[in-house]
Chains A and B, each alone.
Chain A
Amino acid sequence: GENVEQHPSTLSVQEGDSAVIKCTYSDSASNYFPWYKQELGKRPQLIIDIRSNVGEKKDQRIAVTLNKTAKHFSLHITETQPEDSAVYFCAASSMNRDDKIIFGKGTRLHILP
């Protein structure tokens, strides 16, 4: 089955700097890669996603990149702000697995003042 590894588990960056979270996946059939943000005590919310037919997608300060050959994908947050502090989960999905999403273990991002 699919295995999604996520690094680092904890990340602290100075406000205004960039943050990068990296994930790898094992199933080459995975074709959809969403990212979720979970603020303390709240539900996970989809912030951006990418499908396997594109290599990069950007939405304001957030970008995701996908390298299908290496089976890794990354989340980039630029000009970080205090409200970016949260736990971020990467995930992978494949139609071979009924489109079920497998999540990484999460990265706790701290934005330092």
Chain B
Amino acid sequence: GAGVSQSPSNKVTEKGKDVELRCDPISGHTALYWYRQSLGQGLEFLIYFQGNSAPDKSGLPSDRFSAERTGGSVSTLTIQRTQQEDSAVYLCASSLGGGGRGGAYGYTFGSGTRLTVV
């Protein structure tokens, strides 16, 4: 597509429920990244995909968080048993670069999913 698409744009869920956040990157972008941004805060790295594999999961806050990417395209971030501290904007970004080939390019970010856990 023309840009990075994320859905839903807003999600309100009850504490303890599972949620799935979706990211559709720019066509041809092999690298895909998930970040979390709490209100007024910076960008917290969660996980990175190169193709369908995830070489770096170091930012996932707990085992309640998982992500997958299929077909080298769409990625889904799943949060199980949501807690109030999970409330944040979840941003997805894609890039032509990645993989340690030294061809780093800037990311293109999606508009994010604003998750509110009540």
Using a CB–CB cutoff of 8 Å, the interface residues on chain A facing chain B are 31-32, 34, 36, 42-46, 49, 89, 93-106
Are the C-beta atoms of A95 and B91 separated by less than 8 Å? Answer: no
A101 with B107, Cβ < 8 A, contacts A31-B102, A43-B112, A95-B102 known: yes
Are the C-beta atoms of B42 and A98 separated by less than 8 Å? Answer: no
Are the C-beta atoms of A103 and B42 separated by less than 8 Å? Answer: yes
Are the C-beta atoms of B45 and A31 separated by less than 8 Å? Answer: no
Are the C-beta atoms of B43 and A89 separated by less than 8 Å? Answer: yes
Is B72 close to A, CB under 8 A? no
Contact with A along B100-117 (1 / 0, CB 8 A): 111110111111100000
Which of A49, A99, A102 is most buried by chain B, counting CB atoms within 10 A of its CB?
A99
Question: Main SS of the interface on chain A?
Answer: mixed
Are the C-beta atoms of A45 and B45 separated by less than 8 Å? Answer: no
Q: Interface residues of B, CB < 8 Å — how many?
A: 27
A-B contact pairs, 29 of them (CB 8 A): A34-B106, A36-B106, A43-B111, A43-B112, A44-B91, A45-B109, A46-B106, A46-B107, A89-B42, A93-B104, A95-B102, A95-B104, A97-B100, A98-B50, A98-B98, A98-B99, A98-B100, A99-B95, A100-B56, A100-B98, A101-B33, A101-B106, A102-B45, A103-B42, A103-B43, A103-B45, A104-B42, A105-B41, A106-B41
Using a CB–CB cutoff of 8 Å, the interface residues on chain B facing chain A are 31, 33, 41-43, 45, 48, 50, 55-56, 91, 95, 97-104, 106-112
Which of A93, A94, A96 is most buried by chain B, counting CB atoms within 10 A of its CB?
A93
Are the C-beta atoms of B56 and A98 separated by less than 8 Å? Answer: yes
A97 to B102, CA, bound (A): 10
